Structure 1
Amino acid sequence: MFMNFRRIHKCQCMQLLSMGLILCVVMVSWEELDHHVVSHIRSYSYRYLVNSYDFNSSSSQHTDSGGSVHYPYLINHPEKCRGGDGKSLDNVLLLLFVKSSPGNHEQRQAIRDTWGNQSFVWSSLRESVRVVFVLGVHPDVGQRAGLQSRLLQEDRVYGDLIQQDFMDTFHNLTSKLILQFHWGQEYCPQARFLMSADDDIFVHTPNLVRYLQLLSGESGAKNLWVGHVHRGGPPVRRKTSKYHVPYELYPWPSYPDYTAGAGYVLSGDVAAKIYQATLVLNSSIYIDDVFMGMCAKAMGVSPQEQYYFAGGAKAPYHPCIYERMITSHGHAKDVRSLWQAATDPTLPSHSRGLLGNLYCTAVRVMLLCLPYYHNTYSCMAAFT
């Protein structure tokens, strides 16, 4: 009896110690667990059961000058969407804004030489595309004068920079988004589509143009907002995170649906609606794609998933992917080589014929239906 009691006592002690250790781990990592589990459950419940955002009364407290602050232009090209006679061009298919930073000269040049080459689009696809780079001023006062001089020289050569007088920082990304919609409505409202893209993405321009041509034929290019859609995402409440958003700034447990800010496309009528929303909503939330979602929600616009718009990761390198891809994220260094691989007219189509289609479908399943590619293209892309 004595031995049994001792064994039971030791067993209970081990259980208590184990439970104490587990509780300690949970308490230490509770904030992380809350973010990844509890916050997502709460967010999805709110998004799909309650869904009662009221941005107009709660988050859109007007500033003296309206919903958003207007900064003066330091570099501008109001003639970008006009012809030689000064009249607006009626045939602009796409106005493409590339969000850049003052020091990213090499990335801008790589884009001009590859997917942002307007002459290539016109000569090969007979469509008019206007590409401009949007940026603020360098936040470092010591570097600002030298970089600004280099920017002015760069713009004299290429004439494609649009710059306003705000600090080009992460917390001013919303100012850069507002710049795009205001500039588009003032200087190029006739464009059938507007695209916003980061300068570290790759755009398969031929596939994009053909996709937009298809959309124009099917719907008349109306009420469209397409990209890599995030649904029911929760705000990050951890103060150590780059994406931290306090309750005072955004009180709801869920963001409205929005597209990844790396690259998305809107039809001209939706771009006009977003512009109107920026005049009303408070732009103090500094995550630009979330602010875009707020504007769209306020105007009754919902994003549509396009499987070949990437999220935050690179697309797999393979010809069967290149044949369908529209955007891929994380290409600051390999834009030229990827452009050559994806658009080389001498390379045969791998998906031609029944066997080719089966082969490419199998390849895409193997490459896309894996967990670590979920933020690029979804598994459904393999079958479209």
Structure 2
Amino acid sequence: MFLNFRRIRKCQFVQVMTTCLVLSVVMVCWEQLDHSVVSHIKSYSFRYLINSFTYINRSLTIPREQASYFSNFSYLLDHPNKCADKDVLLLLFVKSSPKNIERRNAIRATWGNETYIQNTLGVTVKVLFALGAIQTKQNELSQSSSDINYQKQLIKEDHLHGDLIQKDFLDSFHNLTLKLILQFHWMHSRCAHAHFFMTADDDIFVHMPNLVSYLQDLNSKGVTDFWIGRVHRGAPPIRSMDSKYYVPFEMYQWLSYPDYTAGASYVISSDVADKIYHASLTLNASLYIDDVFMGICANAMGVSPQDHVYFSGEGKAPYHQCIYNQMITSHGHVEDIYDLWKAATDPHVKQTASGLLGRLYCTVIKITLLCRPYYATYPCKAAFL
């Protein structure tokens, strides 16, 4: 038996180079990985062992005159009588960018169609779009012709549909908390009698028949202190300046956020909406992550969120009739919203999951679709409900 020493040396060289490459990647990533792991350990320790959120709430409390800065923007578009003299089951605000007219039209034609909801589901749901300004009035002199045209298009769009609520602050990611405050203040002054309030992004799909049925059942039971969605517990502030969600220490110095629901979509009862409104009157809203600010307000008022397994996480829900039968929301839908609406509301969906065989079939399908590693939209336990 003869050994090819040249081949052995070549294999050894490849192994050494591969090992060096792997070590280099690990060394580059380790600092970031280590920082992420440590921050989550600290956050969970703070959340479950220390948990001094009461102190956090006190430290963020400011005088009403100072807090009014975050809400005293003038309305550019408004419909104060939208809910007047109506028994509103749900007031649903969609957070939208002024330029996303196609997304708004898709929502109006599908799950946000008020006429369909009234005629088919037999309840009143008011769907409004919350917007900031492309350019604020304070900067009118620097407005470009395209900005002026966009605002004219918004006025025309609102004249046609009557569903845009716009205030005079710059519409941007860092002003999302201002947009959240807009919604709660509008409900308090113009639609406080609505039984439930929901906020959603404009790339969310809402299975309106399932949601209405769910809320009608809750309303018949007189539910209060209700806040439901995809809950984040023990989430740490992100300190990496490269992240979209970077929060500097000066803005929020503690190790963990209070519990909150993902801002993509959640539902609260009217009494909780009123509590959030009053909390916003005295809390510092400079923290621009709106769902975290919602958690701070709720914690200050003694309200805790509850998980609902069919409120979407970060990704899209699987496209299958057994999923549509129970889904409430799904995230990341723009181009496919028309097709999804048609498929999800097809009468055959309920027939597929009916009866003993149908339920068993759908359980197997949902286990296959949901109980996969790194799947984030619905948890595995949703397959057994």
Could you say whether these structures have the same fold, taking a TM-score greater than 0.5 normalized by the shorter chain as the test? yes
Alpha carbons 2:67, 2:281 under 8 Å: kept: yes
Distance change (3 Å), C-alpha of 1:23 and 1:46 = farther
- Number of aligned residues: 360
Is 1:112–2:108 an aligned residue pair? yes
Unmatched runs of 5 consecutive residues or more in structure 2: 1-17, 136-141
SS at match of 2:352: coil
- The C-alpha deviation readout for 1:15-49, integer Å capped at 9, x for no partner, is xxx99999976664354123431111111111011
The letter of the residue matching 1:345 is P
Of 167, 172, 189, the match for 1:169 = 172
> Which residue is equivalent to 2:324?
322
SS at match of 1:312: coil
SS at match of 1:248: coil
- Identity, % of aligned positions: 58
Is 1:379–2:375 an aligned residue pair? no
Superposed counterparts of 1:83-122, under 5 Å: 83=85, 89=86, 91-122=87-118
Give the whole-Å Cα distance in 1 for the aligned partners of 2:289 and 2:270: 23
> Which residue is equivalent to 1:209?
212
1:68 positional shift: 4.8
> Which residue is equivalent to 1:279?
281
- The C-alpha deviation readout for 1:94-138, integer Å capped at 9, x for no partner, is 000000010011100010011001111111121111110010112
> Which residue is equivalent to 2:32?
32
Give the whole-Å Cα distance in 2 for the aligned partners of 1:269 and 1:73: 25
> Which residue is equivalent to 1:43?
43
Alpha carbons 1:68, 1:278 under 8 Å: kept: no
Moved more, 167-176 or 21-30: 21-30
SS at match of 1:242: coil
Alpha carbons 1:308, 1:324 under 8 Å: kept: yes
1:348 positional shift: 5.9
Distance change (3 Å), C-alpha of 1:361 and 1:22 = closer
Unmatched runs of 5 consecutive residues or more in structure 1: 1-17, 84-88
Give the whole-Å Cα distance in 1 for the aligned partners of 2:216 and 2:30: 49
- The C-alpha deviation readout for 1:205-233, integer Å capped at 9, x for no partner, is 00000000111123x03110000111111
Of 347, 359, 380, the match for 1:357 = 359
Distance change (3 Å), C-alpha of 1:31 and 1:236 = farther
> Which residue is equivalent to 2:200?
197
1:75 positional shift: 0.3
> Which residue is equivalent to 2:334?
332
> Which residue is equivalent to 2:189?
186
Alpha carbons 2:112, 2:127 under 8 Å: kept: yes
Give the whole-Å Cα distance in 2 for the aligned partners of 1:147 and 1:294: 35
SS at match of 1:93: strand
> Which residue is equivalent to 2:67?
66
1:59 positional shift: 2.6
Give the whole-Å Cα distance in 2 for the aligned partners of 1:342 and 1:147: 34
Give the whole-Å Cα distance in 2 for the aligned partners of 1:108 and 1:358: 38
SS at match of 1:29: helix
Superposed counterparts of 1:3-14, under 5 Å: none
Is 1:235–2:237 an aligned residue pair? yes
Of 125, 130, 133, the match for 1:134 = 130
Distance change (3 Å), C-alpha of 1:152 and 1:356 = same
Alpha carbons 2:231, 2:305 under 8 Å: kept: yes
Give the whole-Å Cα distance in 2 for the aligned partners of 1:35 and 1:97: 37
Alpha carbons 2:67, 2:285 under 8 Å: kept: no
1:349 positional shift: 1.9
The letter of the residue matching 1:319 is Q
Give the whole-Å Cα distance in 1 for the aligned partners of 2:143 and 2:362: 52
Moved more, 93-102 or 52-61: 52-61
TM-score normalised by L of structure 1? 0.89
Is 1:344–2:340 an aligned residue pair? no
Distance change (3 Å), C-alpha of 1:19 and 1:345 = closer
C-alpha RMSD of matched pairs (Å)? 2.1
Give the whole-Å Cα distance in 1 for the aligned partners of 2:219 and 2:160: 33
Of 201, 223, 237, the match for 2:225 = 223
Is 1:156–2:159 an aligned residue pair? yes
Alpha carbons 1:192, 1:221 under 8 Å: kept: no
The letter of the residue matching 1:327 is T
Moved more, 359-368 or 344-353: 344-353
Of 246, 249, 252, the match for 1:247 = 249
TM-score normalised by L of structure 2? 0.89
1:150 positional shift: 0.2
Give the whole-Å Cα distance in 1 for the aligned partners of 2:52 and 2:193: 34
1:344 positional shift: 1.7
Moved more, 48-57 or 167-176: 48-57
Moved more, 59-68 or 29-38: 59-68
SS at match of 2:151: helix
